Amino acid sequence: MKIQKIKYGVIVEVYVKPRSKDFKIVAANNEIIVFCKEEPVKGKVNRELVKEFSRLFNRKVKLVYGFTSKQKKLLIEDIGKSEVKRCLSLQ
């Protein structure tokens, strides 16, 4: 998994697959794949991604890279790397 600890929290690199039946997070082959229900139009996928990650971690989440790409980086504020790994492995 591509998880990096920084001063403000943790940056998680994810690969997004839009137009899926359900929202789910899969950690496989050292990669985090997020299946989003929304279509990649006018930032709908980005909003869904931030909302669901905020709900999962109970923290403030920001999209910091990949606004128009399927490869994205999310900043999860005030959290440790081990807690992120633990939460993602539960999915």
12, 5 in Cβ contact below 8 A? no
Q: What is the pLDDT of residue 43?
A: 92
CA dihedral 36, 39, 43, 46 (to 10 degrees): 10
Pick the CATH number of 3-81 from 3.30.1200.10, 3.40.50.2020, 3.40.630.30, 2.40.50.100: 3.30.1200.10
Which pLDDT score is estimated for 1?
Answer: 64
Paired tokens of 87 = 């939460």
pLDDT of residue 35: 96
pLDDT along the chain (91 residues), means of 10: 89 95 89 93 95 95 95 95 84 49
Burial group, residue 12, by CB count within 10 angstroms (0-12, 13-18, 19+): buried
pTM check: above 0.85:
yes
**DSSP-based three-state secondary structure for 13:** strand
Structure tokens that stand for 46 in this block: 């980005």
Token duo for residue 34: 């997020």
